[in-house]
Structure 1
Amino acid sequence: MYSLRNDYSEGAHPKILEALTATNTTQEEGYGEDSYSAEAERLIKAFFNAPGADIHFVSGGTQANLLVIASMLKPWESVIAPETGHIFIHEAGAIEATGHRISTIPTKDGKITPEGIKAVVNAHTDEHMVLPKMVFISNSTELGTVYSGAELKAIRKVCDELNLYLYLDGARLGSALASDSNLSPEDLTKYTDVFYVGATKNGALLGEAIIINNDLFKENFRFNMKQRGALLAKGRLTGIQFQELFRNDLFLENARHANAMAAQLAAVIRDCGYSFLTDPVSNQLFVIFPDKIITALEKEFAFYTWSRIDELHSSVRLVTSWATKQELVDDFSALLKRIS
């Protein structure tokens, strides 16, 4: 059975496996102080035009979010996030467990607006309540949408006006950058205090790169990593993977492939007369199907049913990856045409 459940069901891109094998017996320093990690940092800084950034490699997205948010906020400060945000729904209360409340903003497309941010801040009036201090967003979002550079700029502006930090979850940042959404790598550097670059969902075995732009949060971050179990003895393993992803454009190449496969699926879905929960622009599609069509598709393809639309329709999430084969797209398209 083909799976369209997520973009991390496969292992790693062959070039990454080759790089890991080729360097396997070379001795290096531990805990991220190896030459591969240093070169990966140099390449990432060049890609994002972030020469002054600090970069730290960790194993996963939830770990990155926990580390960053816990280190940036004082105990009485809270995070503003969309109600669809990963930290609010899919991280087992990791942020709340550090003592930080998440104040959510309703959203239909996974994105939040300056107006929504202002409303949350205005609702918190004194020291008897938590103090909103950070805005959390994802790009691409949990609903597959993408913030453009202009949208990031507008959120940055309101953050500056309200004395808020801006943190961006980049688990699928590759897909966002590879989309036609007027987003550049430099936008991340210009408009965020901290963001992370996801590799787990873009061709690596595992790994995310935390990029700290704001000098206020750079000092002693490795202590934070060590205390929370994120400082890997064999940090070379993430360094090698990021070095390979950013050496010859593999990071964007993988994302472009995933987006292209999703775009082909979206075109066929439209041709068959179906609509979308959000406009398809990345490697995640949220499609509204009749329940009977979902039942038929599930006999040959695995995917998540996302939400109930009405008595006869539901939305489903279809996710493509760096490794999605043309054969899968063709077979899904043929089946959908046959049963529609």
Structure 2
Amino acid sequence: MKKYSFKNDYSEGCHPNILEALIKTNLSQQNGYGYDGYCEEARLLIHQKMNNDDADIHFVSGGTQANLLVISSILRPHESVISAETGHIFTNETGAIEATGHKVHGLATSDGKLKPEHIQSVLDLHTNKPHQVKQKLVYISNSTEIGTIYKKKELQELSEFCKTNDLYLFMDGARLGQALTSEINDLTLEDIANLTDVFYLGGTKNGALLGEAIIITNKKLKEEFGFHIKQKGAMLAKGRLLGIQFSELMKNELYFDLAKHSNVQAMKIKSAFQKKGFQFLSETFTNQIFPILSNSQIEKLAENFDFYIWKKVNEERSAIRIITSWATPDKIVDDFIININQL
């Protein structure tokens, strides 16, 4: 029997509504490069969700591409970006940002989240201007790469600190749906639009075949962004493919329902590990959990399921990463819990 994979939340294709919409609209002629009716409809729906008609919205194919486009468009040659060490731009993008000539300051944090004091520590080390790079952008992820989320007070404090110190705030939203539907979340999409300069809604990890919606709220960052998209090969002639997907995801709360499903499935698994007395690498309430198991227990679970060994704790134990998706079935979760109970 083929192992079920808990390695990521993009192993499946897409939600059936998207496939049906792609087929239904297949022969409809549309303008190219994101000027089609479907992209316009998707933009309208997103504007309504965040109660902001002024934001610019651009659809691109993936998260690394979105990060590269946003950061490289904002920073001047002598400027740098601050990130948690767990941040995707610091650990999993093959130096994409550095390749554009910009330094990434990676900071160690216990929960994957940046606080004003973290950022201040970098600013304090770069006062010898113009002989050092100038920090201009703060990059955060919500949910983070280790499954934690920002609460409203935390984001307000970050936003205020960035404004006071003339820094832009950019939120990677590859799993923003999961963050917003977490049982402990107190942020809204409108809050995020008000408290950041730019962020994106992730589709790839939440029911789309592919695609992210970059949302620029700061007027200073809007001008000429389209040139960056085109120059870096991110402007699809058939932009409709992205518009159709986001239009379907934004209808009838589908985007948020899919994210909530992935969270609920992960929390069922988390509860099973907790009842068996397992500890976790981080306290999470989204679709990523990081239980700490012995080497023999990991081998036992790996007989029937795929997952990543995330971090070695000591010679005898490691944290594994379990990720559920918008499509993770109840039966699979039930079977996995049976296996957990047998450890």
**Shared fold, TM over 0.5:** yes
SS in 1 for 2:285: coil
Aligned counterparts, 1:18-167, within 5 A: 18-125=20-127, 126-167=129-170
Query: Per-residue displacement from partner, 1:276-322 (whole Å, max 9, x unpaired)?
Result: 11112100001111111001001100000001111211001000000
The corresponding residue for 1:321 is: 325
How many angstroms does 1:243 deviate by?
Answer: 0.2
The corresponding residue for 1:278 is: 282
How far, CA to CA, are the matches of 2:152 and 2:247 in structure 1?
Answer: 26
How far, CA to CA, are the matches of 1:168 and 1:175 in structure 2?
Answer: 14
The one-letter code sitting in structure 2 at the alignment partner of 1:178 is T
How many angstroms does 1:328 deviate by?
Answer: 1.0
1:330 aligns with 2:326: no
The corresponding residue for 2:227 is: 223
The corresponding residue for 1:248 is: 252
The one-letter code sitting in structure 2 at the alignment partner of 1:47 is K
The one-letter code sitting in structure 2 at the alignment partner of 1:31 is Y
How far, CA to CA, are the matches of 2:7 and 2:88 in structure 1?
Answer: 16
The corresponding residue for 1:239 is: 243
Cα contact 1:82–1:104 (8 A) shared by 2: yes
- Runs of 4 or more above 6 Å deviation: none
SS in 1 for 2:309: strand
How far, CA to CA, are the matches of 1:6 and 1:149 in structure 2?
Answer: 27
TM-score by length of 1: 0.99
Structure 2 stretches of 5 or more lacking a match? none
Cα contact 1:152–1:187 (8 A) shared by 2: no
How far, CA to CA, are the matches of 2:199 and 2:264 in structure 1?
Answer: 25
SS in 1 for 2:20: helix
Query: Per-residue displacement from partner, 1:64-98 (whole Å, max 9, x unpaired)?
Result: 00000000010000000001100011001000000
SS in 2 for 1:275: coil
How far, CA to CA, are the matches of 2:141 and 2:284 in structure 1?
Answer: 16
Pick aligned residue for 1:211 from 212, 215, 228: 215
Cα contact 1:30–1:236 (8 A) shared by 2: yes
Aligned counterparts, 1:155-194, within 5 A: 155-179=158-182, 180-194=184-198
How many angstroms does 1:27 deviate by?
Answer: 0.5
Structure 1 stretches of 5 or more lacking a match? none
How many angstroms does 1:239 deviate by?
Answer: 0.1
Aligned residues: 339
How far, CA to CA, are the matches of 2:311 and 2:243 in structure 1?
Answer: 38
TM-score by length of 2: 0.98
How far, CA to CA, are the matches of 1:107 and 1:277 in structure 2?
Answer: 13
RMSD (Å) for aligned C-alpha atoms: 0.7
